[in-house]
């Protein structure tokens, strides 16, 4: 493993690191659902249903009711003092089921950040909006959720580019397929800061960073779930949080805290 990492360090050295006048400000986490299980966070509703319903609990870390909270836990493991703004973006039914987050939900969250950029350091999003995309080189938004792809996709790309231009990078996970299927949307958009893991995550020549846990570690310690596995989702928020607190990235391999 060490030999592989050394090779990667050599190959991936000399990349540009995103800079931001607000580095050290809040990390915005866009995810399906958040609640008050972790204190000292700001939860903002951007979902179409106005967040009128609470979700049914689940023990699975990957469940939509828990995924966002797991991202909060990983962020806090990498920087206990990181300020967080949590955008609850998916609708919840009156029976407590969290709906599948879609392109419209993601766009609404991005628009909120564009309207409220003050003291925002970066945006993170760890979700696959590709649907069943399987062809190498494709970068397509899924129409799931009655998404008008011809309108929503350009709007998402424009919003990400605008945030990048004002110094707010959008960190996105690449997907968790060990067969290296195409990098998922929106991480395939070149204006994002895409984050993967090695050797299990999706990646391509445009992948910006790989989150690397200490040798022999495959999980993050969690206050809510005991352990959170290393996936491209958890690597994404860990890398963004390391960047937010001022870490200098000299190559694509970013050491993160368990």
Helices (H), 128-202: 149-165
- pLDDT recorded at residue 157: 98
CA nearest neighbour of 106 among 14, 194, 28: 28
Q: Is residue 10 part of a domain?
A: no
Please say whether the beta carbons of 28 and 124 come within 8 A.
yes
> Where does the pLDDT of residue 76 fall: very low under 50, low under 70, confident under 90, or very high at 90 and above?
very high
Other C-beta atoms lying within 10 Å of the C-beta of residue 62:
13
42 band by pLDDT with thresholds 50, 70 and 90 = very high
Tens digits of residue pLDDT in 4-21: 443 444 344 444 455 544
* Range name among 45-54, 91-100, 174-183, 205-214 with the lowest pLDDT average: 174-183
**Mean pLDDT, residues 139-165:** 96
Tell me the C-alpha distance between 8 and 149, whole Å: 36
| Contact by Cβ (8 Å): 47, 105 | yes
Predicted local distance difference test score (pLDDT) of residue 135: 72
Supply the pLDDT for residue 9.
44
Mean pLDDT of the chain: 89
**How confident is residue 248, by pLDDT bands cut at 50, 70 and 90?**
confident
Q: Does residue 2 belong to any structural domain of this protein?
A: no
Instruction: Give the strand pairing for 120-125 and 26-31.
Output: parallel
Assign residue 155 the CATH number of its domain: 3.40.50.200
The structure tokens 């969690």 sit at 222
| Rounded Cα gap, residues 237 and 41, in angstroms | 15
pLDDT score, position 72: 97
Does a structural domain hold residue 7?
Answer: no
DSSP summary character for residue 214: S
Q: Is the pLDDT of residue 30 over 70?
A: yes
Q: pLDDT tens-digit profile of 193-236?
A: 999 997 789 999 899 999 999 999 999 999 999 999 999 999 99
Tell whether 117 is covered by a domain. yes
| Residue 154 · residue 161 · CB < 8 Å | no
Angle between helices 232-244 and 64-78 (to 10 degrees): 40
Query: Closest Cα to residue 43, out of 87, 75, 82?
Result: 87
Quote the number of domains for the chain: 1
| Residue 11: inside a domain | no
Contacts of 74 (CB under 8 A, 6+ apart): 220, 222, 228, 234, 237, 238, 241
- List Cβ neighbours of 200 (8 Å cut-off, separation of 6 or more): 176, 178, 231
In a domain, 1, yes or no: no
The reply to whether 108 falls in a domain is: yes
pTM of the model as a whole = 0.91
Q: Is 6 contained in some domain?
A: no
Tell me the residue range of the domain where 105 lies: 23-255
Mean pLDDT along residues 165-187: 91
């Amino acid at each position: 493993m060490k030999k592989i990492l050394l090779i990667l360090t050599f190959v991936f050295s000399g990349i540009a690191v995103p800079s931001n006048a607000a580095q050290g400000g809040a990390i915005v986490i866009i995810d399906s659902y958040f609640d008050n299980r972790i204190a000292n966070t700001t939860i903002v509703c951007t979902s179409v249903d106005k967040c009128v319903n609470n979700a049914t609990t689940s023990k699975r870390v990957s469940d939509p009711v828990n995924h966002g909270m797991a991202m909060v836990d990983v962020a806090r493991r990498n920087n206990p003092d990181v300020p967080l703004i949590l955008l609850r973006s998916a609708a919840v039914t009156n029976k407590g089921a969290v709906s599948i987050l879609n392109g419209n939900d993601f766009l609404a969250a991005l628009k909120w950040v564009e309207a409220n950029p003050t003291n925002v350091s970066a945006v993170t999003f760890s979700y696959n909006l590709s649907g069943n995309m399987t062809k190498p080189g494709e970068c397509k938004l899924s129409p799931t959720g009655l998404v008008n792809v011809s309108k929503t996709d350009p709007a998402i790309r424009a919003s990400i580019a605008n945030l990048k231009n004002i110094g707010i990078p959008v960190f996105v996970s690449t997907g968790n397929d060990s067969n290296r299927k195409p990098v998922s949307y929106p991480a395939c958009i070149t204006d994002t800061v895409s984050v993967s893991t090695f050797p299990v995550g999706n990646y391509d020549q445009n992948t910006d960073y790989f989150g690397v846990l200490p040798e022999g570690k495959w999980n993050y310690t969690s206050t809510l779930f005991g352990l959170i596995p290393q996936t491209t989702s958890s690597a994404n928020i860990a890398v963004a949080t390391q960047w937010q607190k001022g870490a200098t990235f000299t190559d694509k391999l970013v050491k993160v805290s368990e």
